[in-house]
Chains A and B, each alone.
Chain A
Amino acid sequence: MNIIVCVKQVIDPEAPPASFQIDSASNKAEMKGAPPVIDPYGEYAVEAALKIKDANGGKITAITMGIKLLREVVKKPLSMGADELVLLEDESYDGADSHSTAYALAMATKKVADYNLILCGREASDTNAGQTGSGIAEILGLPCVTLARKIDINNGTARVEKVTADGYEVVEVTLPAVITVSNEIGEPRYPTIKGIMAAKKIDPVVWKPSDIGVESNQVGNAGRKTAVNKLFQPVHEGKCEMAEGDSPEEAGANLAMKIREAKIL
Chain B
Amino acid sequence: MADYKGIAVFCEVKEGKLAPISTEGLGIGKKLAGDSGQELCAIVVGSGVAEATKEAIAYGADKAYVVDDELLKTYRTDSYVAVMKKVIDQITPQVLILGQNDIGRDLAPSLAFKLGTTATLDCVELAIDPDSKRLLQTKPIYGGNALAVYTSNTDPQIVTIRTKAMTPLAPDASRQGEIVNIDAGIDASAIRTKVVDTVVEEVAGIKLEDAEVVVAGGRGMGSAEAFAQLEELAKLLKGAVGASRPPCDNGWLPDTVQIGLTGKIIAPELYIAVAISGSSQHLSGCSGSKNIIAINKDPEANIFRQARYGVVGDWKKVLPAFTAKIKELLAS
Question: Which residues does A use to contact B, with CB under 8 Å?
Answer: 11, 13-14, 16-18, 20, 22, 29, 97-99, 102, 122-123, 125-131, 134-135, 137-139, 143-147, 149, 159, 163-174, 177, 182-184, 187, 224-234, 236, 238-243, 247-260, 262, 264-265
B112 close to A255 (CB less than 8 A): no
Which B residues contact A (CB, under 8 angstroms)?
Answer: 77-78, 101-102, 105-106, 109-110, 112-114, 117-122, 136, 139-143, 145-154, 192-201, 209, 245, 249, 255-256, 261-262, 264, 269-270, 279-281, 290-291, 293-295, 302, 304-314, 317-322, 324-326, 329-330
Min Cβ gap A256→B in Å is 4
Check B105 against A225 for contact (C-beta < 8 Å). Answer: no
Complex contact A146–B304 (CB within 8 A): no
Is the beta-carbon distance between A232 and B101 smaller than 8 angstroms?
A: no
A238 to B146, Cβ gap below 8 A? no
Contact A165 B102 (CB under 8 A): yes
* Residue from the list A16, A126, A174, A247 in contact with B192, Cβ < 8 A: A174
- A256–B327 Cα gap in the complex (Å)? 9
Known: A97-B118, A228-B149, A238-B305. A256 touches B110 (CB 8 A): no
Residues in B with CB closer than 8 Å to A229 are 136, 149-151
B residues near A131, Cβ cutoff 8 Å: 109, 112-113, 119, 121
In the assembled complex, the Cα of A247 lies from the Cα of B321 at a distance in Å of 10
Query: How many Å lie between the Cα of A170 and that of B199 in the bound state?
Result: 8
A-B pairs with beta carbons under 8 Å apart, 17 shown: A128-B122, A128-B140, A134-B110, A135-B113, A170-B198, A170-B199, A172-B194, A183-B245, A227-B150, A230-B148, A231-B148, A232-B146, A240-B308, A250-B321, A251-B311, A252-B325, A262-B308
Nearest-CB residue, chain B, relative to A125: B143
Minimum C-beta distance from B119 to chain A (A)? 6
**Shortest distance between the CB of A91 and any CB in chain B (Å):** 22
Question: In angstroms, how far is the closest chain A Cβ from the Cβ of B295?
Answer: 7
Chain A residues with CB below 8 A from B325, complex form: 252-253, 255-257
Nearest B residue to A182 via CB reads B262
Interchain CB contact (< 8 A) of A255 among B109, B146, B310, B314:
B310
Residues of A within 8 Å of B281, CB to CB, are 13, 125
With A238-B305, A256-B322, A259-B291 known to touch, is A172 a contact of B196 (CB < 8 Å)? Answer: yes
Choose from A17, A149, A182 the contact partner of B280 (Cβ within 8 Å): A17
Q: Check B329 against A256 for contact (C-beta < 8 Å).
A: yes
Given contacts A165-B256, A167-B199, A172-B194, contact A236 B306 (CB under 8 A): yes
* Known interface pairs A29-B146, A131-B113; 14 further A-B residue pairs with C-beta atoms within 8 A, sorted by A's residue number: A13-B280, A14-B279, A102-B113, A127-B141, A134-B113, A166-B256, A167-B200, A167-B201, A177-B192, A226-B150, A229-B151, A240-B309, A248-B311, A255-B309
A130 in complex: contacting residue of B105, B192, B314, CB < 8 Å:
B105
| CB-CB under 8 A for A249 and B109, given A149-B255, A170-B197, A228-B149 | no
Contact across chains for B113 and A253 when beta carbons are under 8 A apart: no
B101 touching A165, Cβ below 8 Å: yes
Contact between A166 and B113 (Cβ–Cβ < 8 Å)? no
